[in-house]
Amino acid sequence: MKQLVLFLGLLFLTQGLCQNDNNKKKSVSNNQLKRLLILLQIVVEENENSDQSLIPWLKDANEKLRKIHENEAYMEFQYETDINDENAQKLNDAGVKAAEVIKIVVSEARRLLRDNPDVDGDAKRQLQRMALDDTPLDSNLVSQLQKIHSDLESIYAKAVIKKDGKTFRMEPELSQIMAKSRDLDELKWAWQGWRDVTGPQMKNLYKELVRITNTSAVENGYTGGRKETWLLNQFGSTENLKNQFQNLWRELKPMYQLLHAFVRKRLKSFYRNKYPGYIFPDDGTIPAHLLGNMWAQQWNNILDVVKPFPNVKTPDVDTALKHRYPKPKDLFQLAEDFYTSIGLYKMTPKFWNGSMIVRPDDREVQCHASAIKMCTEINKDYLETIHHEMGHIEYFMAYRNQPEVYRDGANCGFHEAIGDTIALSVMTRKHLKTIKLIPNKKSFNEHEMDMNFLMEEALSKVAFLPYGYLIDKWRWDVFSGRIKPEDYNKSWWNMRIHYQGVSPPVSRSEQDFDPGAKFHIPADSPYICYFFQFYETLCKESGHSGPLHTAMLELGASKPWPDTLEMFTGSREINAKSIIQYFRPLMTWLKNQVSENEIGWQDN
């Protein structure tokens, strides 16, 4: 459910946002926002093909699942906002209890599907979703798996580097160093230090997680192991997905390579001037610690080095935010105001009373941003993140009346798009002027301003694409056995170099486990969602002209995602045409800045 809303919002909000008029970017108009609101408020008709005889059982099963999922989610939040042994045990117990209920529901759903071969429509879809499960059959393994999950997250959340009597956490200290420092030694220290205090402690745990989940998937009847259930959980099928992702990357690769070549050229010049003896890798890659982010996943923090027109002043949004919205809660209220301005929901009292908005001083917490927890700093990045995360909550509230089995997205990529759509609209110059974060006046050269703006967006969005793809590609190969535990790190860097063209600043070995330095690996959280949603959802021009009565916020996971996609685009497959069109003015400019022999890197 979540993903569909997201997708619909993206399609309609970006109808204007992803088009260019005389190379000038349009922001979303009020009319387009109204169209989105109308779309999201339409109520879907009940599926007339549902088997009425199964409704009582489905209703009871959905209620059981709702209760155990609600309890498990609550315990997970308690643990992530107060990481201690007691809360870890409570989370473990909730997981074991949930597994017991799920096993019963799964078994009965599978029996009903066998005994009712003619069941069709909504009842069949609910049963099929309930029958999907890879929970270990052995309750002891359930408990063991729960402990592995909490231990992995605990290692990540508690990781710190100490130096000269000071403590450096990922948020905010290490993130700020990676974003703002241009000191080679300091950047290398932070980059290597974070990996030293995370990955090595995780490797054996992760190896065991893979073993248990693979075994459990096979025991539950999925011959493809964890890779099969991973894809089924996120996309509802495994059909042709590998080819779709490969085709998407093939379309996007030239755009990424062009951006990579320009950024490498600027960074190489910058650091050679600053450190005359510094030697860039001769294989065409970019050292991963120079890209402004601990994981080199987004490069917007090095805009000062690679800005197309450096003499065109970039508005200082961070300073304006601290002046106008000095408290972290102010940023959340600003985001709420935006959502309510387009007719969506206000946050509830439970949100304001129960959310973790800033890092507490009295306990260990997980600071990785999610819908209801964040270690907020007053800056532009957090402004965007808050709008994105609140988009998830808007989505949750919209589908709260769906059966539990449909309280999910058409696929995992849809859910990320609603927040990204809103965030992209919020971060336009037009909106920033509206909320008085940048001066309400025109630049002397709008074209140069647009190029700088598009570069900042490309450093965030285009630079992210291969990373968003390779994380789950690495995991799929791990789950399938193509990557063995003794090659975890080697294969990780082979992929980083092959797809991203980034290389480690210091030598790496199998004593390291660099995938574990990224939250989504120890958290066992999908990542391909971000890669998927950006192309089709973030910048897909809507050509939909049919009836809208089946397209609404409340639809959830009640339809297969290819059906939803075809409804709006006329195609059951995603493509990259719109995002390429969106960045074409910048790419045209970049082609004049680099030569052909500067594009690409070895092993690509």
**Which DSSP symbol is given to 373?**
B
* pLDDT given at position 51: 61
Give residue 550's pLDDT band: very low, low, confident or very high (50, 70, 90): very low
Mean pLDDT of 42-64: 70
Q: Which residues of 209-223 are buried (b: 16+ CB within 10 A; e: fewer)?
A: bbebbbbbbbebebe
pTM above 0.85, yes or no: no
* pLDDT given at position 538: 41
Mean pLDDT of 523-547: 54
230 or 239, which is more confident? 230
Round the average pLDDT of the chain to a whole number and report it: 84
Give residue 546's pLDDT band: very low, low, confident or very high (50, 70, 90): very low
Please list, in sequence order, all residues whose beta carbon lies within 8 angstroms of the beta carbon of residue 244, skipping any fewer than 6 positions away. Answer: 573, 574
> Is the pLDDT assigned to residue 220 strictly greater than 50?
yes
Strands 286-287 and 502-503: parallel
Q: Give the pLDDT confidence of 117-137 residue by residue, as tens digits.
A: 888 888 998 999 999 888 888
Burial class (CB in 10 A: 0-12, 13-18, 19+), 486: exposed
Active-site position among 520, 544, 573, 598: 520
* Phi, psi dihedral angles at 389 (to 5 degrees): -65, -35
Burial class (CB in 10 A: 0-12, 13-18, 19+), 400: exposed
Please give the Cα distance from 236 to 377 (Å, whole number).
37
Q: Give the pLDDT confidence of 150-164 residue by residue, as tens digits.
A: 999 999 999 999 999
For residue 172, whether the previous peptide bond is cis, meaning omega lies within 30 degrees of 0, is yes
Burial class (CB in 10 A: 0-12, 13-18, 19+), 176: middle
Q: Give the pLDDT confidence of 370-395 residue by residue, as tens digits.
A: 888 999 999 998 999 999 899 888 87
Q: Give the pLDDT confidence of 93-113 residue by residue, as tens digits.
A: 999 999 999 999 999 999 999
Mean pLDDT of 318-347: 92
289 contacts 188 by C-beta, under 8 angstroms: yes
Strands 286-287 and 24-25: unpaired
45 or 204, which is more confident? 204
* pLDDT given at position 174: 97
Mean pLDDT of 310-323: 90
Residue 173 annotated to the active site: no
DSSP letter for each residue of 527-553: -HHHHHHIIIIISPPP---S--TT-SG
Q: What percent of the chain has pLDDT over 90?
A: 58
Q: Give the pLDDT confidence of 182-196 residue by residue, as tens digits.
A: 999 999 999 999 999
Reduced 3-state DSSP string for 186-206: HHHHHHHHHHHCCHHHHHHHH
Tell me the range of 186-200, 333-347, 529-543 where mean pLDDT is highest.
186-200
Active-site position among 80, 389, 394, 457: 389
Give residue 278's pLDDT band: very low, low, confident or very high (50, 70, 90): very high
Q: Of 70-79, 96-105, 267-276, 404-413, which gets the smallest average pLDDT? A: 404-413
Mean pLDDT of 590-600: 96
Mean pLDDT of 465-474: 93
Mean pLDDT of 6-34: 41
CA distance from start to end of the chain: 38
Mean pLDDT of 433-459: 84
* pLDDT given at position 398: 80
* Run of H or E including 472: helix 465-480
Q: Give the pLDDT confidence of 477-532 residue by residue, as tens digits.
A: 999 999 999 999 999 999 999 999 999 999 999 999 999 999 999 999 888 776 65
Give residue 543's pLDDT band: very low, low, confident or very high (50, 70, 90): very low
* pLDDT given at position 87: 95
* pLDDT given at position 379: 93
Q: What percent of the chain has pLDDT over 70?
A: 82
Mean pLDDT of 238-255: 85
Give residue 308's pLDDT band: very low, low, confident or very high (50, 70, 90): very high
Mean pLDDT of 580-594: 92
* pLDDT given at position 566: 60
What tokens does 584 get?
């074409």
* pLDDT given at position 567: 57
Residue 549 annotated to the active site: no
> Is the pLDDT assigned to residue 346 strictly greater than 60?
yes
596 or 240, which is more confident? 596
50 or 544, which is more confident? 50
Q: CA geometry: angle at 357 spanning 180 and 84, to 5°? A: 100
Please give the single-letter amino acid code of residue 163. Answer: K
